[in-house]
Amino acid sequence: MTILRSWRHAVGVMLLGVLALPTAQADDPVKVRLGTIVPKGSSYFRILQELGEDWRKVQGEGSTFVIYGDGSQGGEADMVRRMRVGQLNAALLSSVGLAEIDRSALALQTVPMLFRDWAEVDYVRERVRQQLDVRLAEKGFVVLFWADAGWVRYFSKEPAATPNEFKRFKVFAWAGNAEQVNLMKSMGYQPVPLETADILPSLQTGLINAVAASPFFALTGQFSGPAPHMLDVKWVPIVGAAVMTRKVWDAMTPAARDELKRVGEKAGADMRARARQEDLESIEAMKKRGLKVTVPTPDQEAQWRQAAEEVYPRMRGPIVPADIWDEILKVLAEYRNGKKKS
């Protein structure tokens, strides 16, 4: 009987321990460390701060949401590596950074002159985002929200209006994106792979003399000083997302996860609205500082569109997975056909 009582007591203790375990885990402070290249003090940074504060109130005492801005954690590829080893557990990334996790995200950003306006970007993103979310989740990352950061335009030391004129320039290319570099070379361009933090000093020293960037990024990065000419061709939209490792997501309370999803959707909408306004405001601000804008003629814009469409067959598969490429073109055609009918 003594042995039986002892066994029952041991089982009871173990059961109490198991029942208590989830509560103990839920009460543990959660420390979120988010990296981004966006500047401190920018509207993007402030929106992230608001998101973190709203989440922290729900997650509970002792939990923190620290944002490392200004690219202090390195480029986007560096931040993905840091998340994988636990130095960071969240990041706000463009599609180029997301591609370090899963290449499907490249379809929203790297296909030149695919989208004509923000309405097309919004429609396609909302139709395919669930697929992209699932693919990133399969790699261990949870998407908090999707956002964008303006249209990429070309800034250069000297004026240029056609694809052939840009072939004389040494052009910035994303470090780590070997496919982009090879594609540019095959088209006759001179790409120079760099981290984003190296763009300004490289423009100043002449290592590069042209860069494709959104106007806001060009303004905050002071690119228009050494590259005072902007070609007003909407090359690609900067599209990205805030992602978090599954490990830190699972460490949160259910209520905190729900709150983070809620405020994340709001943050994404706020970022998109603000980014589109800042896209225009940044151009005007740089014009006051001497930026000269080249507006292409219809013939020159047609040359850019032809140059863009010529590389599509080489992008489908090697750069953008074929299935997501086909899906996006299908959705885009659906939108344009519906617009024509209406």
Burial class (CB in 10 A: 0-12, 13-18, 19+), 340: exposed
Buried b / exposed e across 280-294, counting CB within 10 Å, b at 16+?
A: eebbeebeeeebeeb
Going from N- to C-terminal start, the domains of the chain cover 29-341
The rounded Cα 285 to chain-centroid distance in angstroms is: 24
In terms of phi and psi (left: phi > 0; alpha: psi -120 to 50; beta: otherwise), the region of 225 is alpha
Burial class (CB in 10 A: 0-12, 13-18, 19+), 89: buried
Distance CA 116, CA 66 (A): 37
Give the pLDDT of the chain (342 residues) as one tens digit per residue: 443 344 344 434 333 343 333 433 445 789 999 999 999 999 999 999 999 999 999 999 899 999 999 999 998 999 999 999 999 999 999 998 999 999 999 999 989 999 999 999 999 999 999 999 999 999 999 999 999 999 999 999 999 999 999 999 999 998 877 888 888 898 889 999 998 889 999 999 999 999 999 999 999 999 999 999 999 999 999 999 999 999 999 999 999 999 999 999 999 999 999 999 999 999 999 999 999 999 999 999 999 999 999 999 999 999 999 999 999 999 999 999 987 766
Q: Maximum Cα–Cα distance for the chain, whole Å? A: 96
Distance CA 207, CA 6 (A): 77
Looking at the domain that runs over 29-341, which CATH code has it been given? 3.40.190.170
φ, ψ of residue 55 in degrees (nearest 5): -65, -40
Query: Pairing mode, if any, of strands 190-194 and 210-213?
Result: unpaired
DSSP 252-263: S-HHHHHHHHHH
Helix (H) or strand (E) holding 331: helix 322-341
pTM for this prediction: 0.85
